[in-house]
Amino acid sequence: MNRNHFAGLLEMAAPVAAGLAAAGYARGSSRHSASGRAGLVSAWWMVVTGCLMVGVVVSLSRMGFLATLAGLGLGVAAGVGSREGMRKRRTAAIGACVVVVLVLGFVYLPTDELVARFAGFAQTDDITQDQRAQIWRETVELIRAYPVLGTGLGGYEPAFLRFKKTAPDNRVDFAHNDYLQILAEMGWAGFLAAMGLVGFVVRESWRSAGEWSWVEMGIAGALGALALHSLVDFNLFMPANALALGWIGGVGCGRRAQG
């Protein structure tokens, strides 16, 4: 029903699928006896990644498209930055290839419909970009009124009516920014707790050897993609997207615990 939330789900899955594809390729190159099977697994996950990318493109979500490319790039950057010596140079070479692919994807993947939506960037489906910015400013006033504990989960819409001056013909039940929404409903206490949880997931996903595996790189990309998209949308308040994020974070923490 909402192209941005649909794209938000896919933008988390695409980097993880790409990480699994890279993991299969790396496993095949290091184990000659199992290279055939690993190659098939890697090819399968590359196909899955391609399908997810196509889904993001046809969703016509502008920020979803940009966030997906950014998430894939961030995953590679996390891996390159954590490696040393030959492993770093090898990963950097792979990363350079990925960057080239991402740039080409940015140029050639968008359909005419998506390009037209970028051309009309100031206009969203329901409100203009100026109105969205005004909603953010009015949400800041709401946060100042309930700074510590917020309005309570689900209390944004009725509490916002006191400060709402823009978009009089539109119902504003979300802040169109996950960070402002969390601050408004949970206050600084809840916001800092949420950010602490995110930091815990990132820390636990970091392997004891001090390097990101390919799967962890995919997890980092997924978190980064949603973090970027959350600046202009409310994916975290959609149950499917929130559950997917929780599952991805659990995978990262679980792999660290097993290590």
Write the pLDDT tens digit of every residue in 37-86. Answer: 777 888 888 889 889 988 998 888 888 888 998 888 887 777 666 554 44
DSSP annotation of 109 reads S
Chain-centre distance of CA 189, in angstroms? 24
Read off the tokens for 123.
Answer: 């206009």
Range of the domain at 101: 3-123+178-258
Poorest-pLDDT segment among 9-13, 18-22, 152-156, 243-247:
18-22
* 30 lies in some domain: yes
At 173 the pLDDT is: 85
* 235 lies in some domain: yes
pTM above 0.85, yes or no: no
Q: Tell me what the mean pLDDT of segment 234-259 comes to.
A: 81
Q: For residues 202 and 249, give the distance between their C-alpha atoms in angstroms, rounded to a whole number.
A: 8
Write the pLDDT tens digit of every residue in 152-200. Answer: 988 999 999 899 887 777 788 888 899 999 999 999 999 999 899 888 8
* 130 lies in some domain: no
- Supply φ then ψ for residue 203, to 5 degrees: -65, -45
* 184 lies in some domain: yes
Q: In terms of Cα–Cα distance, which of 27, 58, 57, 59 is closest to 45?
A: 27
* 154 lies in some domain: no
Q: Which residue has the tokens 């005419």?
A: 112
Q: pLDDT-derived band of residue 20, with 50, 70 and 90 as boundaries?
A: confident
Read off the tokens for 32.
Answer: 């000659």
Q: For residues 248 and 223, give the distance between their C-alpha atoms in angstroms, rounded to a whole number.
A: 8
Residues facing residue 123 across a β-bridge:
128
Q: In terms of Cα–Cα distance, which of 126, 87, 121, 114 is closest to 207?
A: 87
Q: In terms of Cα–Cα distance, which of 225, 239, 176 is closest to 18?
A: 225
Q: For residues 109 and 91, give the distance between their C-alpha atoms in angstroms, rounded to a whole number.
A: 25
At 81 the pLDDT is: 60
Report CA-CA distances (Å) from 206 to 2, 160, 185, 256, 259: 34, 39, 31, 7, 10
Q: For residues 43 and 14, give the distance between their C-alpha atoms in angstroms, rounded to a whole number.
A: 14
Q: Say what percent of the chain tops pLDDT 90.
A: 26
* 249 lies in some domain: yes
At 39 the pLDDT is: 74
Q: Tell me what the mean pLDDT of segment 139-145 comes to.
A: 94
For residue 206, the one-letter residue type is: W
At 106 the pLDDT is: 66
- What is the CB-side half-sphere exposure of residue 136 using CA atoms within 13 A? 17
* 64 lies in some domain: yes
* 61 lies in some domain: yes
Q: For residues 191 and 123, give the distance between their C-alpha atoms in angstroms, rounded to a whole number.
A: 30
For the chain, the domain total comes to 1
